[in-house]
Structures are given as structure tokens and as C-alpha cells.
Structure 1
Amino acid sequence: MIRVLITDDEHLVRSGLRAILEANDDIAVVAEAGDGAEALSAVARCRPQVVLMDVRMPGMDGITAAGRIAAASHAPEVIMLTTFDLDDYVHQALRAGASGFLLKDTPPRDLAAAVRTVAGGDAVLAPTVTRRLIGHFAERGPAGIAAAKTRLEALTPREHEVAVAVARGLSNSEIGRALGMRETTVKTHVSRTLAKLGLSNRVQAAILVHDAGLV
């Protein structure tokens, strides 16, 4: 059972998201929060695996809360929710450690699939809007590209291939098929890559590869 925390300042939105998620036998909504501060308390109290976090809320916004959650030990995965497909602030949350983002009009089946995806260790990178956002905010100036490439030099050739595949939005199973590896081996390479680069999740790795101009 995947434990989910829903954070949004609108009660009707939270109720709608709860109804969508709890229609799935493998997902349970363990708590709701109306702002970022409440979300931090709920994470400590209920230990969800996935947090759905609205970007714009009064008090502590979703970006600040996502960063604090991602920085904690044994942190749950955070999916940002936004009304706008190119919200000016979402990239900050992605760099801070959120596992991706969804639009609030995402179809119910896709929302549940996204929760399963991040709970399984993948990022929500498949939607075109997410790829466009990461590409839009990637730092591709000469200095940014050089710095990103220098960081990636810490990787082995195989880890480098895996990192580029992650940046292209491939899941572990898709990377395994593309590179001729078992899925468990891919997971090992991803974990080692994140550790070497000092990153918390796949989205941050994808952004770094984009910053290096490799995708």
C-alpha cells in the first residue's frame, strides 16, 4: 500500500484528489494539509511515501516545503501540483529535490500512475510538459555547461550512459532494454550515480545532464 499525503490550500481540491487516489486498491491517503507548514508536520507524523504538493499556498508555499522535505533523512518523494504548465517557480522545487510535477487537470488514471512511479523510485519525467520545463530552465551558458560537465566526470562510462537515459525520461525498465542491462543493475547504477553527484533523486540528475547540454 502506497501512503500519500495531499497538500493544497483548497479543501475541494484535496477532496477531489483523495477520491481519485483512494479509488485505487494500492493507494491510501494517510493525511491532508492546507499549507507547507502543515505538510512538514504531517510528514513527520504519518510518514507518507509520496507527497502531492501544491505550488502556491498561503503561509509556507509548496516550493519551500518541498525543499525542506527533500533535505530530511528518509524523505518521501514529492510531486508538485500546478495549474500552469510553465509555472515560474516549479523549477526551483525540482532543483530542491521534488520528484517531478503534474498539472491539476491530469487524468485520474495518470495521477495514480504517477504516484506509483515515484513510489517505485522513478521520476515523473514522461509527460512532455515536464521535459519542456526542465529544458526551459536548464542553465546552458558556457560557465554552466562547463561546471555541469565537470561534475559528470565523476561517473564511470556506464553511469554516464544511465544518467543521460534518465535525463531523457526513461524508466529503469526502459533503460535496461536500451542498454542491455537487468532492471536491478540499472537501479544500482542510478543509486551510485546519485551518490557520486551528491543528488537526492532522478530529477536533479536529469537537470544536471540538461545543464551539461547532453540532451
Structure 2
Amino acid sequence: MFYYDSSFIILIPALLFSFYAQTKIQTTFNKYFKRRAFCGMSGAQVARKILDNNGLYNVQIELVRGKLSDHYDPAKRVLRLSEEVYYSDSLASIGIAAHEVGHAIQHQKSYAPLILRNSFVPVANIGSNLSWIFIIIGFAIRSLQLINFGILLFSAAVIFQIITLPVEFNASARALNQLEESSILNSQEIDGAKKVLNAAALTYVAATLVAISQLLRLILITRDSRD
């Protein structure tokens, strides 16, 4: 009943949007992965160029396993690119590589939302990992205190998702600006890279909507259990 009660309907729109977002990023990435950039530079070469242009010579670039597993590690100051992004000179790969460099530039400039998100990571990890344990046990033994504590922990994960949105949008804006200013891509190519980054942004929006919907559902279930 906890997982399949009538309140589950709250999750349906967010889950459908999440499915759409995942499909959109896959189809958009595949489309622009087939289009080679005129500059002939790989994602790793573009990342290195933009990093150096911004004085980020100490940020290393590493190859990481997985599809679309690209990320910037602020603790180790390392940019990790998946194989498809690292070696390819496609518009999709260059766009994603530039996006991750955008995070490195945010770090360099002490971009406030990034600092806030990074400081929230430990709390969000605890919230996402432990919240359901307290919630499930709370419902099992009918302990409202445990349920509320679990919801409080889960709220931290939701806040993290919300904070993530401006960080990702800003990184994409910085990426497109760098690609244009450095003349790495022409105007038509910029449009292709932008479509890839916009599709990627949808996945973050979807994750946030699912988290918020799940939180609202938990609150409703708790309210109904009180009644």
C-alpha cells in the first residue's frame, strides 16, 4: 500500500517527463554525435583549450568509463570525460566537454550556487541513502517520528536537486559562450551543441520534478496516516 496507494498518481506526470527527458537526450546526442565539427578537435582537445584560455592549467583531463558519465571533480580539480566525448570531434562531444569545463570555470570564479551545491553534497547523500530506511521502518512500526525524520532527510536530497538546476544551466551558458568566443564552433555548429545541452538540462529538470513529487507524496501519505 505504501508504494501503490492512490497518492502514486502524483508521481505519474514527473515519471512521464523523466522518460521523455531520457529519450530526448539519447536521440539528440546520437543525432549530433554523427555531425563532425569543422575544427576537427576532439572533446578532450576542446576542453584543454578552454581550460587553458581561462588559466586553468592545473585542471587535468581524465578518461572515465560509462556513457554520458562526464563530470568535473572540484575536490581533485579533475575533468573526467567518457570515451565518446573524449575522443570524438562531434558537435555533441564538444558541447558536453565544454559544459564540464563550464563547471571548472564556475569553481575558479567561486560561483555561489556551485559552492552551495558542493557544501550540500554530504547532507544530500545522507538524505538520499538513509531517508527511505527511516520512512519504511516508520510505516512498519507506525512511528510518526521516524517517518517525519525520514521525510526531513529526503527533503535535503530534494533541495540539492533544486540547487543543481541553476548550476547546470549556468555551466551550459558558459560553455556556449566559450565555444563562440574561442571560434571553436561556427554559428550553425553552436546551435547543434546548444540543442544537446538543452536536452541534457531536461534530465536535471526531470530529476528535480520526480524528487519534489515524491516528497509531496510522502507528506500526503503521512497526513493520511495521521487521519
TM-score range, shorter chain: under 0.3
TM-score between the two structures when normalised by the length of structure 1: 0.26
TM-score by length of 2: 0.25
Q: Whose helix fraction is larger, Structure 1's or Structure 2's?
A: 2
| Greater RCO, CA 8 A, separation 6+ | 2
Kindly name which structure, 1 or 2, has the bigger radius of gyration based on alpha carbons: 2
